[in-house]
Chains A and B, each alone.
Chain A
């Protein structure tokens, strides 16, 4: 009998703490998922950051889904199905987004190629009097 009371008391003491850590873990997951999603009302903010009504509601929906056992992936897919790839802050790599993903590197390479071509041309025909004009020896 005494054992049982002790167990009950222990449970009563521990249950809220367990619930709290579970809550905190859920909070972290909600935060992580919604930080990847664009708020469509205020497009330069994530759903996690935004206080727009839509963002608050979507945060609640993500939270509901995760609490009911959905994976992070499923929650993100849920949003993509409804709002398109545009909600993703990291757009998927596919034919339509190649320019977006690789365009900057292509520009960088083009710039470097141009730079090297110029430098080489300048090395081949050193222009000797360019400096001497302004600073005569």
Chain B
């Protein structure tokens, strides 16, 4: 009986490691921006090319930056949740239209609904790179001081909104 104890023990340990490995999400890379100032930029607005936007304009407000593109299928999956979310909250959601074409982006919003207070147009992805974007959609929560407090990679779901975004926004709004 005793001679089986060691192999069995090793097997159990391997099983535990395998279990941990299955739960890891290597595609979720920790962002180096948490707690740091949101990178500054000035970009033209997607639907009003003659107007610009930069994050300083929202200093003193809690706001969200959502990176999206018309070519991004996960953005399409996320979109209904985002539209519903925009109706629930008063914080502005700014869209960063990433490596897209202006007409395609505008058409996408016309067709599927526009949850954004405004969208900015980042055609060459430079601003996206400054925010460490690597998989659209991505969502950043930015506090009144202009610091990034949360970064989500991948589609926002009703569960994430209920369990993560809404509590955080409430907390930041009253801080």
What residues of chain A have their CB less than 8 Å away from a CB belonging to chain B?
40-41, 43, 53-54, 57-58, 61, 80-84, 86
Contacts and interface: CB of A to CB of B under 8 A. Distances in A.
B92 interface: no
B99 A84 contact: no
A52 to B, nearest CB: 9
Interface string B98-134: 0100000000000000000000000011100111101
Contacts of A53: 99
Contact of B129 (A61, A80, A86): A61
A83 B128 CA distance: 11
Contact of A43 (B27, B32, B130, B131): B27
A54 B30 contact: no
Interface residues of B, number: 16
Given A40-B135, A57-B129, A86-B29, 12 more contacts: A40-B29, A41-B134, A41-B135, A43-B27, A54-B134, A57-B124, A58-B129, A82-B130, A82-B132, A83-B32, A84-B29, A84-B30
A41 to B, nearest CB: 6
Contacts of B42: none
Nearest to A57: B125
A83 B135 contact: no
Contacts, number: 34
A40 B134 contact: yes
A57 B134 CA distance: 11
8 contacts: A40-B29, A41-B135, A43-B27, A57-B124, A61-B129, A82-B132, A84-B132, A86-B30
A98 B155 CA distance: 34
Contact of B26 (A43, A54, A58, A81): A43
Contacts of A41: 134-135
Contacts of A84: 29-32, 132
A60 B12 CA distance: 48
Nearest to B126: A61
Interface in B5-33: 26-27, 29-32
A83 B131 contact: no
B33 to A, nearest CB: 8
Contacts of B134: 40-41, 54, 83
B20 to A, nearest CB: 14
A86 B29 CA distance: 7
Contacts of B132: 82-84
